Amino acid sequence: MKHAPRLTALLLTLALLAGLLPAASAAAPQPAEPRIAADSAIVIDYDTGETLYEKDADTMRVPASMTKVMTAYIIFEELEAGNLTLDTLVPISDFAAQISRNQARYPTAVPLPYGGSLTVDTLLRLILIPSASASCVAMAEYISGTEAAFVQRMNATAQRLGMTAQYQNCHGAHVHYLTARSQAILVREFIRRFPQILDYTSATSATFNGTTYPNTNQLLPGLAFEYEGADGFKTGTINAAGYCLSATAKRDGRRIISVVMHSDNNTTRHTDSTALLDYGFARLAADAPYTDTAFHWSWQAVEELDALGAELHPSGEQFRPEQAVTRAEFTAMLYSALAADGQLPPLPGPEESTQPAETAPPEDTAGEPEQPAPEPEPPFADIDGHWAQAYIEEAAALGLVEGDQYGRFNPDSALTRQDMMVLVDNFVELPEANGLGFDDDGDIALWALEAAARTTAAGLFGGSGGRLFPSASATRAEAAQVVSRVLELA
C-alpha cells in the first residue's frame, strides 16, 4: 500500500477503524432438503466445489456406464497433448467389433465394423450419447495398447484427481466401484479442463450407420424429463448398479453438478436428479448475501467482499449490480476491503514534539473551565453528514483521495472507469508498467493516463471487445470485481 504523503488533522484510532467495518449480511432462509430415493446422491456447486447436499456420498457403489466419463476424460487428455485429433482414424479390432454385437455382456450394443476404422469424434459420440461399451474398448486399445493398460491409467488419473475409485474396465458394463462424490469431482474437473465436452453431452441423439440413438440422459431439452439448463452428463445402468445418473445444469451463469447412484428405475434417477438440481439452485440463491447477485456474473466478487465485511452499501437485500457506482461507494468499498484484509498502513498518532521545553512558567489558568478541543473540519465541503463520511475522511487522512478545485469530493456523482483507475492507483502501489493497447486509448484523459497504464498492466481492468471505455460510468458489479482483483494482488 502507498504510505500517506500527508496527514490531515484527523488522526483516527484503529478502534474507530474497526468500528466502521460492517458485519457480513445474514443469509436467507435455506430451502428444505430434497427427498432422494437413490441410495447415494450428491449435488455440488461447480464454481466452488462446495457440497450443497449429500446422501451416503462416500460409499463405494457400482457406477455402470458412468465409468465412460473417465474414459472420455483420458481421450480428451490425449487430444490436448496432440496425440489424437478428432479426425484421427481408430482401427476397430476384431474383439471390439465382436463385443459391439453382444448386447447381453456389453450394453449398449452399437455394432462396429469388422476390419474398419472410425474417427475419434464418432467414437466419442457413441460413448457419450448411446453409451456404446465397445467404442470404449476400441479407444482404450488405440491409446494404451490394451484395455488393461488403459484401466491402469484410469486408476492413476482417479488418484491424481482425489477420487475414491477402483476401475477394472473402461466401460462399466461389468462391476467395479467408485463413490458418488468421486463422480461429481470427475465431472467438475472434466468441464473445467475441457468445456468442449458439453458439445457432446448436450446432444440429444447421435446417428451412426443410418440408426439414430437417443441420449440416455433424458434431462436434456425435448426429452422425457427435460430440465431447464441441463447440458449433460452421463447415465449408467446394469443390474448391480441399479440406475445411475450424473448430471449438470447451468442457469444465469451458475452451474451445478448432481450424481445419483443405485436408483430403483429410470424414472427415479431422473426425478431424483431434478430434485437435486432444484435444491442446488435454491441453495445458491439462499446462500447469496443479496437477492440480485446469486446468478449475476459478479456473484463471486460480491460474496467475497461481503464475507470480508467490506462496505457494499446495499439497498435492503439488493446489491444493485448494474447501477452506476458513485465516488463514495467505491471509496468506501475499496477502503473497507483493504482495511479488513490488513492491507492499509495504520494511522499514526500525533507526533511527539522534538522542541526543548519552554523555560518561562506557564500562565496561571486556575479557575478557568477547560475548553473542549475544536471538532476537526471535514476535508471536503460536501461530505458532512454523508453515509460514507468516515470512510472518505480516513482515506483523505492517508492522502488516498482528493477533492476538486473547489474543495468538494462529489460523493454521489457516478464514477467513470478512468476515475476508478486513478483511485485504485492512489490506494495501491503498482509497478511502473504499461498495459494499454486498447482501440480507445486516445480517449483516456491525460490526468488518468499513467494510472490507466499501471492498473491495466496489473490486470485490474481488461476492457471489452478491445476497448476500455474510459469515460463511461462503471457499475457496482465492476467495482466489486476490481476491488476483488486488488485484494488478490497482495
pLDDT in tens, 445-467: 999 999 999 999 999 999 899 99
| pLDDT score of 169 more than 60 | yes
Kind of pairing between the strands at 177-178 and 230-238: unpaired
Q: Does the pLDDT of residue 40 top 90, yes or no?
A: yes
CB 248 within 8 A of CB 233: yes
Q: Which residue has the higher pLDDT, 358 or 398?
A: 398
153 and 232 in a single domain? The answer is: yes
- CB neighbours of residue 76 within 10 Å: 18
Give the mean pLDDT of the chain.
89
Residue 83 and residue 475: Cα distance in Å, rounded?
A: 45
- Secondary structure E strands in 84-196: 89-91, 117-119, 165-166, 177-178
What integer pLDDT is reported at residue 460 of this predicted model?
95
Catalytic residue list contains 68: yes
418 has a pLDDT exceeding 50:
yes
pLDDT value for 350: 52
Q: How far is CA 127 from CA 24, 130, 211, in A?
A: 47, 7, 15
Domain end (from 269, 287, 305): 287
Type of residue found at 247: A
Cβ neighbours of residue 428 under 8 Å, at least 6 residues apart?
1, 2, 458, 486, 489
Residues 175 and 255 placed together within one structural domain of the fold:
yes
Q: Find the domain containing 95 and state its range.
A: 40-287
How many angstroms from the chain centroid is the CA of residue 24? 20
d(CA 159, CA 169): 16
pLDDT band, residue 14 (cuts 50/70/90): very low
Q: Reading across the β-sheet that carries 230-238, which strands appear in turn? A: 51-55, 40-45, 254-263, 242-251, 230-238
Both 99 and 234 in a single domain? yes
pLDDT digits (tens, 9 = 90+) for 221-234: 999 999 999 999 99
Q: Which residue among 243, 268, 287 closes a domain?
A: 287
pLDDT band at 15 (very low <50, low <70, confident <90, very high): very low
- The answer to whether residue 436 sits within a structural domain is no
Query: Residue 160 CA to chain centroid, in angstroms?
Result: 22
Over residues 63-75, mean pLDDT: 97
The pLDDT, as a whole number, for residue 197 is 97
The answer on pLDDT for 22 being more than 50 is no
pLDDT for residue 328 is more than 60: yes
Q: Do residues 138 and 201 share a domain?
A: yes
- Same-domain status, 327 and 237: no
Concerning whether 464 is annotated as a catalytic residue, the answer is no
Quote the number of domains for the chain.
2
* Shared-domain flag, residues 336 and 239: no
Other Cβ atoms less than 10 A from the Cβ of 399: the count is 15
Q: Which of the 8 DSSP states describes residue 361?
A: P
Minimum mean pLDDT range among 2-16, 347-361, 432-446: 2-16
Residue 355 placed within a domain: no
Point out the least confidently predicted range of 2-6, 99-103, 288-292, 293-297.
2-6
pLDDT bracket for residue 86 (50, 70, 90): very high
Residue of 40, 55, 100, 131 marked active site: 131
Single out the catalytic residue among 40, 55, 68, 234.
68
256 lies in a domain? Answer: yes
Q: Residues 40, 65, 258, 273: which is the catalytic one?
A: 65
What's the average model confidence in pLDDT over 314-318? 94
Residue 468 lies in a domain: no
Per the model's pLDDT, the better-predicted residue between 12 and 243 turns out to be 243
Specify the pLDDT at position 374: 62
Same domain, 336 and 262: no
Q: Reduced to 3 states, what is the DSSP secondary structure of residue 488?
A: helix
- Closest C-alpha to 263, from 64, 38, 62: 38
Q: What's the CA gap between 265 and 430, in Å, rounded? A: 60
Same domain, 388 and 263: no
Strands 177-178 and 205-208: what pairing?
unpaired
Residue 82's domain is classified under what CATH number? 3.40.710.10
Query: Is 319 among the domain residues?
Result: yes
pLDDT at res. 348: 53
pLDDT band per the 50, 70, 90 thresholds, residue 17: very low
Question: Cα–Cα distance between 241 and 156 in angstroms, integer?
Answer: 23
C-alpha closest to that of 52 among 277, 332, 318? 277
Let me know whether 69 and 195 are in one domain: yes
Task: Check whether residue 93 and residue 210 sit in a common domain.
Answer: yes
Instruction: Please answer whether residues 112 and 118 qualify as being in contact, where contact means their C-beta atoms are separated by less than 8 angstroms.
Output: yes
Cell 496561571 -> residue: 364
Pick from 117, 227, 246: nearest CA to 189: 246
pLDDT of res. 368:
63
Whether residue 273 is contained in a domain is answered as yes
Q: Is residue 424 part of a domain?
A: no
Q: Residue 242 belongs to what H/E stretch? A: strand 242-251
Residue 16 banded pLDDT, cuts 50, 70, 90? very low
421 within domain boundaries:
no
Which among 122, 155, 162 has a CA at the least distance from the CA of 138?
122
Provide long-range contacts, Cβ within 8 A and 24+ apart, for 228-232: 230/277, 231/198, 231/201, 231/202, 232/187, 232/191, 232/197, 232/198, 232/200, 232/201, 232/202
Confidence (pLDDT) at 354: 39
Residues 266-294 have a mean pLDDT of 95
135 catalytic residue (yes or no): no
The pLDDT confidence band at residue 371, using thresholds 50, 70 and 90, is low
Q: Which helix (H) or strand (E) holds 185?
A: helix 180-193
Residues 276 and 297 in one domain: no
Same domain, 227 and 318: no
pLDDT of amino acid 344 = 87
Contact 444, 460 (CB under 8 A): no
Helices (H), 292-367: 299-308, 327-340
- Dihedral (CA of 66, 254, 459, 338) sign: negative
Q: Residue 20 pLDDT > 60, yes or no?
A: no
Strand 89-91 to 51-55 pairing: unpaired
Dmax over CA atoms of the chain, in Å, equals: 115
Q: Which of 268, 287, 306 is the last residue of a domain?
A: 287
